[in-house]
């Protein structure tokens, strides 16, 4: 099929089909394919998909080359392709992965060239020794920018990304809160914003205001970071005002100022506080929770961390505080410490009358005395809760009490799945206790020994 004659079926395909097929190849393979067929001799000059990866380049050339020599050859190859391609061809996608190249000038020159050629999708995994600044690119629709180590990102102060719909940033340092907010506001079509493993230096206010944004992910760096670039968002006022926002994923130190405004479209929310409020008063916890929970009352899927639940624990002595109802909530995922959060779980179930799926991760924490859960009527357990998944199960007394409570009161429960911590050695004994527990639902399928180990709480989703 890859012969060089006129009967070569692949060569006779329409050019846009061949472009699509070649879009799955790295550029070095596309260039090499020029030798396969006479019709392909100059085909690479019009390919609108360019993919450069220095590791793949080394593996497909001479792996015995010294890394310094391989880097120089890689730089020559990238420059050769960019400067000898047909400049009239719009670049649909440009991918560059060269984390071990310490040449900011060359990288900036390549990005400038593809910007001039109206690149639509730009994916960069690079290293930069100086603050990185993006050139304006009105054609750009998708931008993925990641660094090998933390790098200061200088965002443009002008509207240079009018068509941008997706922005994914990794290992970035932000030094100016107003610049970040202004940049997001200047992208009128932005729908997806993903900022991960990044730091926000001494931000007083972190504000995301967008009339187009639908999906937002923010994973700030640990406030105790070894790089000394700032304290993340731990002491920052967080404001989110996005009327079309559907999904929110927010990982941050515990913050005292979290405010939602005009987020009635919000459906899926994950909030992870990785520090608990050790010195918080009940009044402070009440303020934090009221701001957060009131903004989430319309969501259909909610996932909360143990750090968040520590706020709840501070206030469980006053159950009347839990007044927000989650009438639309169908799926709830929690990471809990059973000796502290048991009452908070029951309160949440009480406020979620239409809940259908419950997932619980049992966090590692000191264990206290056994506490029985009263068998009370809870609407979701009576009419709607069908699926329960329990992860990192150890079979402790308080965990077994929660299992007992759910089986005893889950009248329409269809499935309960239990996955264990690998370190637990007495599973059979605990399983025998579980299967003997009374059940209200005759249709429940009990899986007390699920083989699903090590499911990451961050990525878990039902």
Q: Which pLDDT does position 3 carry in this prediction?
A: 46
Retrieve residue 320's tokens: 């009347």
The kind and range of the H/E element at 331 are: strand 331-336
Residue 217 in any domain: the answer is yes
Is-contact 258 288, C-beta < 8 A?
A: yes
Count H helices and E strands in the chain, helices first. Answer: 12, 19
Question: Domains in the chain: how many in total?
Answer: 3
Q: Are residues 11 and 98 in the same domain?
A: yes
Residue 5 in any domain: the answer is yes
Looking at 93, 120, 147, the residue that finishes a domain is 120
Q: What is the largest CA-CA distance in the chain?
A: 82
Backbone angles phi, psi at 100, to 5 degrees: -105, 15
DSSP string, 196-237: EEEEETT-SEEEEE-SS--EEEEEEPPTT-TT-S--TTTT-E
Is-contact 251 274, C-beta < 8 A?
A: yes
Residue with tokens 């395909």: 13
Q: Are residues 303 and 240 in the same domain?
A: no
Half-sphere exposure of 63 (CA within 13 A, CB side): 4
Domain of 203 in residue numbering reads as: 128-266
Q: Are residues 111 and 138 in the same domain?
A: no
Q: How far apart are CA 122 and CA 97, in angstroms?
A: 11
Helix/strand/coil (H, E, C) string of 347-402?
Answer: HHHHCCCCCCEEEEEECCCCCCCCCCCCCCCCHHHHHCCCEEEEEEECCCHHHHHH
Which residues pair with residue 123 across a beta bridge?
95, 144
Q: Are residues 303 and 444 in the same domain?
A: yes
Q: Please name the residues in contact with 436: beta carbons below 8 A apart, sequence gap of 6 or more.
A: none
Looking at 92, 120, 148, the residue that finishes a domain is 120
Q: Are residues 110 and 153 in the same domain?
A: no
Q: How far apart are CA 344 and CA 371, in angstroms?
A: 13
Q: Are residues 107 and 9 in the same domain?
A: yes
Q: Are residues 336 and 407 in the same domain?
A: yes
The kind and range of the H/E element at 304 are: strand 301-304
Q: Are residues 2 and 83 in the same domain?
A: yes
Q: Which pLDDT does position 215 carry in this prediction?
A: 97
Looking at 120, 150, 181, the residue that finishes a domain is 120
Q: Are residues 303 and 441 in the same domain?
A: yes
Residue 38 in any domain: the answer is yes
Residue 343 in any domain: the answer is yes
Low-confidence residues of the chain: pLDDT under 70: 1-8, 10-11, 61-65, 222-232, 234, 254-256, 274-286, 307-323, 338-341, 365-370, 450-462
Q: How far apart are CA 365 and CA 167, in angstroms?
A: 37
Helix 306-315 to helix 338-350 angle, to the nearest 10 degrees? Answer: 80
Cα–Cα distances (Å) from 215 to 208, 246, 251, in that order, read 12, 6, 14
Q: Are residues 450 and 303 in the same domain?
A: yes
Q: Please name the residues in contact with 371: beta carbons below 8 A apart, sequence gap of 6 or more.
A: 339, 342, 398, 401
Q: How far apart are CA 100 and CA 68, in angstroms?
A: 10
Residue with tokens 């399928």: 445
Residue 318 in any domain: the answer is no
Give per-residue pLDDT as tens, 302-320: 998 876 666 665 554 455 5
Residue 84 in any domain: the answer is yes
Give per-residue pLDDT as tens, 19-71: 788 878 888 888 888 777 777 777 888 899 999 998 888 877 665 567 788 88
Residue 369 in any domain: the answer is yes
Q: Are residues 105 and 203 in the same domain?
A: no
Q: Are residues 379 and 420 in the same domain?
A: yes
Residue with tokens 């029951």: 346
Q: How far apart are CA 117 and CA 123, in angstroms?
A: 15
Residue 290 in any domain: the answer is no
Q: Which pLDDT does position 332 carry in this prediction?
A: 95
């Amino acid at each position: 099929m890859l012969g060089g004659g006129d009967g070569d079926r692949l060569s006779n395909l329409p050019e846009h089909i061949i472009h699509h097929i070649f879009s799955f190849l790295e550029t070095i393979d596309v260039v090499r394919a020029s030798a396969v067929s006479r019709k392909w001799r100059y085909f690479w000059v019009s390919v609108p998909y360019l993919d450069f990866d220095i590791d793949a380049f080394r593996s497909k050339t001479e792996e015995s080359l010294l890394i310094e020599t391989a880097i120089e050859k890689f730089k020559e190859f990238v420059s050769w392709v960019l400067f000898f391609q047909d400049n009239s061809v719009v670049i649909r996608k440009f991918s560059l992965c060269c984390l071990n190249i310490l040449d900011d000038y060359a990288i900036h020159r390549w990005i400038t060239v593809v910007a001039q050629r109206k690149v639509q999708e730009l994916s960069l995994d690079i290293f930069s020794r100086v603050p990185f600044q993006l050139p304006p690119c009105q054609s750009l629709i998708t931008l993925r920018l990641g660094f090998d180590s933390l790098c200061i990102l200088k965002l443009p102060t002008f509207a240079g990304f009018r068509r941008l719909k997706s922005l994914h940033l990794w290992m970035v340092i932000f030094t100016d809160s107003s610049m970040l907010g202004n940049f997001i506001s200047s992208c009128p079509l932005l729908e997806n914003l993903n900022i991960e493993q990044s730091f926000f230096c001494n931000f007083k206010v972190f504000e995301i205001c967008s009339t187009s944004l639908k999906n937002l992910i923010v994973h700030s760096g640990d406030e105790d970071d070894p790089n000394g670039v700032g304290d993340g968002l731990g002491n920052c006022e967080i404001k989110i005002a996005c009327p079309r926002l559907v999904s929110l994923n927010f990982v941050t130190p515990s913050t005292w100022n979290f405010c939602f405004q005009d987020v009635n479209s919000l459906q899926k929310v994950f909030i992870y506080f990785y520090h608990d409020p050790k010195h918080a008063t009940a009044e402070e916890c009440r303020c934090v929770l009221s701001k957060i929970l009131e903004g989430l009352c319309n969501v259909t899927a909610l996932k909360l961390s143990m750090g968040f639940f520590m706020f709840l624990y501070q206030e469980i002595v006053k159950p009347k505080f839990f007044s927000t109802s989650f009438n639309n909530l169908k799926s709830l995922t929690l990471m809990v410490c059973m000796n502290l959060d048991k009452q908070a779980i029951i309160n949440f179930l009480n406020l979620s009358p239409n809940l259908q799926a419950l997932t619980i991760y049992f966090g590692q924490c000191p264990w206290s005395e056994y506490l029985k859960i009263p068998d009370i009527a809870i609407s979701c357990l009576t009419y709607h809760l069908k699926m329960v998944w329990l992860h990192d199960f150890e079979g402790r007394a308080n965990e077994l009490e929660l299992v007992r409570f759910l089986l005893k009161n889950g009248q329409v429960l269809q499935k309960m799945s239990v996955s264990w911590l690998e370190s637990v050695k007495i599973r059979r004994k605990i399983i025998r206790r579980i299967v003997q527990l009374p059940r209200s639902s005759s249709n429940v399928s009990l899986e007390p020994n699920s083989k699903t180990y090590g499911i990451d709480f961050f990525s878990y989703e039902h």
